[in-house]
Homo-oligomer: A and B are copies of this chain.
Amino acid sequence: MKFCRLGHFVLCLSLLICMNSPLQARRRPRIVSPEVQSDRRVTFRLSAPNAQAVGLNVQFAQGTQSMTKDGDGLWQVTVGPAEPELYVYNFIVDGLRVTDPANPWLKFWGGAARNLVLVPGNPPLFFEEQSVPHGTVHVHKYPSKSLGVTRGLYVYTPPGYEENRRTKYPVLYLLHGMGDTEDTWTVVGRANLIVDNLLAKGRARPLIIVMPYGHTPSAPPDTRSLGNYGAFEKDVIHDVIPYVQKCYRVSTEKKDRAIAGLSMGGGQALTVGLGNLDLFGWLGAYSSAVPPEQSLDRLLADPKVVNDTLQLFWIGCGRSDFLFKANQNLLGRLEAETVNHVAHITDGAHEWSLWRIYLNEFVPLLFDANR
């Protein structure tokens, strides 16, 4: 009888769990979904006893996969094998797209939630969590005087930052896309794990990554932020950078400050980076929403200054990207105006699988890592 209180507790909590679950879940153990098999096939499960038809949309399979129901109302399907990669998926229940309630890993984009599932590689993918020292992700709320609001800010510090109390680190300001928020570069982009893995291999110089919120006005992500880069630029220059320099041991030299971004964030990186050559020594634009010609006229007014300042001007774009033409035009202009740059044209479309690769290729080029 000594354990009766604990037994009572387990019983009551079990009841609580049942009360919180669909009826059908009472007789079965916790649902595991998704379950990645060792052969890289993936099993997806959803309890939906009243549904007429349940399907699965997953990025690695064409069309909607039909799921089958057992006697307890649990729908299931196994798909694959899939190439090692990070994929989005969702269920379709009688025509309604829903997320997987058993999977807390979610991607929010443009007001829609989808789940993520990682099919690991052997050897592990460059963005998988591996047995290496891990950096830390810091979630800040800082007061933006420029915008008159409190905004979110994610910061990555590399392994060893906390112990090496005399080291000053270089900083990469890393900007997200139009449907994203300040956490997307870590939740979906896995920037922290990518850099953990690069550092473990000695392929990059330890750096801090600052991931600000890119939308202005400070509204939910929508198209209003596009092209409205002036307010964002003020926030970065007058609020984010001083805040970071107050909170972290960072070098304040131009040679130790980089800026890069994807899509809308690529347009912002070009605008803020080229517009503030006194501050940034390294610039990356991934699949970027290239600023309009008249902005470029201003930003590229003096090619010599750009060439003398930037140690790297890196432009990446996939051939299947709907922005490929715009990026080609930008590259043509840089060529014509003899602006030094690296054109990194690859396969791929406007998607995260590419941006993870670009970050993995870009970071080792920064801050004289290999000199």
Tell me how many chains of this kind the complex includes.
Answer: 2
A9 to B138 Cα, complex, angstroms: 32
Check: A94 CB closer than 8 A to any chain B CB: yes
Check: A141 CB closer than 8 A to any chain B CB: yes
In the complex, are the beta carbons of A289 and B96 less than 8 A apart? no
In the complex, are the beta carbons of B94 and A50 less than 8 A apart? yes
A42 to B10 Cα, complex, angstroms: 36
List, in ascending order, chain B residues with CB within 8 A of A101's CB: 97-99, 111-113
Check: A137 CB closer than 8 A to any chain B CB: yes
Check: A332 CB closer than 8 A to any chain B CB: no
A189 → chain B, closest Cβ, in Å?
15
- How many residues of A are counted as interface, with CB atoms below 8 angstroms from the partner's CB atoms? 73
From A3, A4, A13, A223, residue with most partner B Cβ within 10 Å: A13
In the complex, are the beta carbons of A94 and B51 less than 8 A apart? yes
Our pick among B13, B50, B248, B329 for the contact of A178 (Cβ within 8 Å) is B13
Our pick among B14, B96, B223 for the contact of A13 (Cβ within 8 Å) is B223
Residue-wise interface mask of A (317-345) relative to B, using a CB-CB cutoff of 8 A (1 in contact, 0 not): 00000110010010000000000000000
A151 → chain B, closest Cβ, in Å?
11
A96-B99 contact, Cβ under 8 Å, with A6-B226, A20-B109, A293-B5: no
In the complex, are the beta carbons of A129 and B104 less than 8 A apart? no
